[in-house]
Amino acid sequence: MRDAEAAVGAAGAQTVSDDPDFRLVARVRAGDQAAYSSLVHKYKGRIFSVIYNLTSNREDANDLAQETFIKAFRSLDRFRGRSQFFTWLYRIAVNTTLSHLRKNRLRHFFNYEDLQEETVNAEWLEAMTSANRSDRPVVLRELQEKLNEALQQLSPKHRTVVVLFEVEGMSHEEIAEVLKVSTGTVRSRLHYAKQQLQSLLQSYVR
Amino acid sequence: MSDKVENSPADRIPESRPSLEELLRLKRAEQPDAAFWAKFDRDLERGIVQSVVRQRSLLERGFTFLGRPAGALAGLVLVAALVGMLLTESSSPLSVPRAATSPESWIPVAAAEDTGAERQDFVIEVFASESARAGAQGGGEEWRSGDAGNLRQAVYVAESLGPDGTPDRPGSRVLF
């Protein structure tokens, strides 16, 4: 998505009718609920992922992702098309999640999604595992646990920026639009969050 | 035991460890399985239908209520109250911008409506009631912002301003 950083700037030149999401939104407004299923299908993975990475809790992520899509469906009449549809949807997801985290501040129960190990192809992983790769699941599992623990030690606002930038691949500008803050604030939060993570994970990262 | 130590990423030499960014990208591989998504889709469809039904039933209940004699009467009373409020507002002696009723008053009237560079000729201070008139003459110490919404009982104090925007001269205030 960050490759689309230039595309964000060019979004102004893009007309509403050119954007497939806007066309789907128009169809939903006209009463075609199947068009909403297309939007859900397109974004459910990313919305679930961002919520899950903020909560580190599968059940919460499921409930909050459902809530996000229901809220978006009910608010679709208020979507004016001033931003991209996914930015608007991310904003609902992030706000719903942050509100949930504020209400459940003392919750310390986390559960993690299974790693789809076959999708992890990285040179560093090859270097860390033995030739026969039998230790690969153990290495990955430990890294996953340590990373999630470290992320949960960040404040929600710092965690949000790190997740949106490093995991979701969003640009500073897109994150600023989702969070309704300046790009300077995004950069500063990201810098601080990464410093914190580097320190928390110093035994695991170079 | 030795196997565990050898496998631990923390025990690897730093050069073979991932960078923080590479490690964070590991989270992209955390994905639910197909069974999860099938249930997610079913639950979401049910949730959307329930939300639409709830919305419609609230609207229908409202219309049903308005269809009954008591509901119709309540609706009429509400409309009458709204019209009354609008008429009352339009007949008030002076429409005072909200900013001008703040305790930090002495805001030039024109400044509250226009942020341009026009020079101000006077300021208006609003007091809650006749009893505050003495306070107005003494410099506004008896300001009671809580009552300022009731403009019919308010006392307005106008004071002409000099070229530098400060009150022109003592005794230039007019109470009305």
- The CATH code of the domain that includes A40 is 1.10.1740.10
Whether A20 and A105 map to the same domain: the answer is yes
User: What pLDDT shows up at residue A7?
Assistant: 42
Give the separation between CA A121 and CA A133, rounded to whole angstroms: 12
Contacts of A186 (CB under 8 A, 6+ apart): A161, A165, A172, A175, A176, A179
- What average pLDDT does range B37-62 have in this prediction? 83
Q: State the nearest Cα–Cα gap between A156 and chain B, in angstroms.
A: 16
Helix (H) or strand (E) holding B127: strand B122-127
Kindly tell me if the per-residue pLDDT of B142 is higher than 60: no
Lowest mean pLDDT among A108-112, B135-139, B142-146: B142-146
Give the separation between CA A120 and CA B29, rounded to whole angstroms: 7
Compare B89 and B165 and report the one with higher pLDDT. Answer: B89
B145 touches chain A (CB under 8 A): no
Whether A27 and A109 map to the same domain: the answer is yes
Size of chain A, expressed as the number of residues it contains: 206
- Considering the domain boundaries, does residue A57 fall inside one? yes
Q: How many domains does chain A have?
A: 2
Kindly tell me if the per-residue pLDDT of A108 is higher than 90: no
User: What pLDDT shows up at residue A5?
Assistant: 42
Kindly tell me if the per-residue pLDDT of A173 is higher than 90: yes
User: What pLDDT shows up at residue A151?
Assistant: 92
Whether A71 and A33 map to the same domain: the answer is yes
Full DSSP string of chain A: -GGGHHHHHHGGGS-GGG-HHHHHHHHHHTT-HHHHHHHHHHHHHHHHHHHHHHH--HHHHHHHHHHHHHHHHHHGGG--SSS-HHHHHHHHHHHHHHHHHHHTTT------PPB-GGG---HHHHHHS-TT-TTHHHHHHHHHHHHHHHHHHS-HHHHHHHIIIIIS---HHHHHHHHTS-HHHHHHHHHHHHHHHHHHTTTT--
Compare B79 and A203 and report the one with higher pLDDT. Answer: A203
Radius of gyration for the alpha carbons in chain A, expressed in angstroms and rounded: 19
| CA A47 to each of CA A38, A41, A52, B13: distance values in angstroms, whole numbers, following the listed order | 14, 11, 8, 36
Token pair recorded at residue A179: 């969070």
Q: Which of A73, A72, A60 is nearest to A33 (CA)?
A: A73
Kindly tell me if the per-residue pLDDT of A52 is higher than 80: yes
Whether A94 and A154 map to the same domain: the answer is no
From the list A36, A52, A201, the residue facing B23 with the nearest CB is: A201
- The CATH code of the domain that includes A195 is 1.10.10.10
- Which chain B residue's Cα is nearest to A136? B7
Q: A188 is in which domain, residue-wise? A: 127-206
User: What pLDDT shows up at residue B59?
Assistant: 64
Give the separation between CA A86 and CA A101, rounded to whole angstroms: 22
User: What pLDDT shows up at residue A10?
Assistant: 42
The string of pLDDT tens digits covering residues A137-167 is: 788 888 888 898 899 899 999 999 999 999 9
* Domain range summary for chain B, segments of one domain joined by +: 1-91, 98-175
Whether A108 and A131 map to the same domain: the answer is no
Full DSSP string of B17-29: SPPHHHHHHGGGG
- What average pLDDT does range A39-63 have in this prediction? 93
User: What pLDDT shows up at residue B14?
Assistant: 67
Kindly tell me if the per-residue pLDDT of A55 is higher than 70: yes
User: What pLDDT shows up at residue B141?
Assistant: 38
User: What pLDDT shows up at residue A121?
Assistant: 67
Q: State the nearest Cα–Cα gap between A76 and chain B, in angstroms.
A: 13
Q: State the nearest Cα–Cα gap between B72 and chain A, in angstroms.
A: 29
DSSP conformational letter for B9: G
The string of pLDDT tens digits covering residues A1-25 is: 554 444 434 444 455 567 899 999 9
Which of A113, A146, A163 finishes a domain? A113
The string of pLDDT tens digits covering residues A161-170 is: 999 999 999 9
Token pair recorded at residue A200: 């928390």
- Which chain A residue's Cα is nearest to B30? A115
- Considering the domain boundaries, does residue A7 fall inside one? no
Kindly tell me if the per-residue pLDDT of A86 is higher than 80: yes
Kindly tell me if the per-residue pLDDT of B147 is higher than 80: no
From the list A52, A70, A198, the residue facing B51 with the nearest CB is: A70
Whether A19 and A109 map to the same domain: the answer is yes
User: What pLDDT shows up at residue A62?
Assistant: 95
Cβ within 8 Å of A, B 26-85? 26-33, 36-37, 40-41, 43-45, 47-48, 51, 55
DSSP conformational letter for B1: -
The string of pLDDT tens digits covering residues B63-112 is: 666 667 777 777 778 778 877 777 776 554 444 444 333 433 334 444 43
Place of tokens 């039998």: A134
- Considering the domain boundaries, does residue A122 fall inside one? no
- What average pLDDT does range A36-40 have in this prediction? 94
Give the separation between CA A139 and CA A185, rounded to whole angstroms: 35
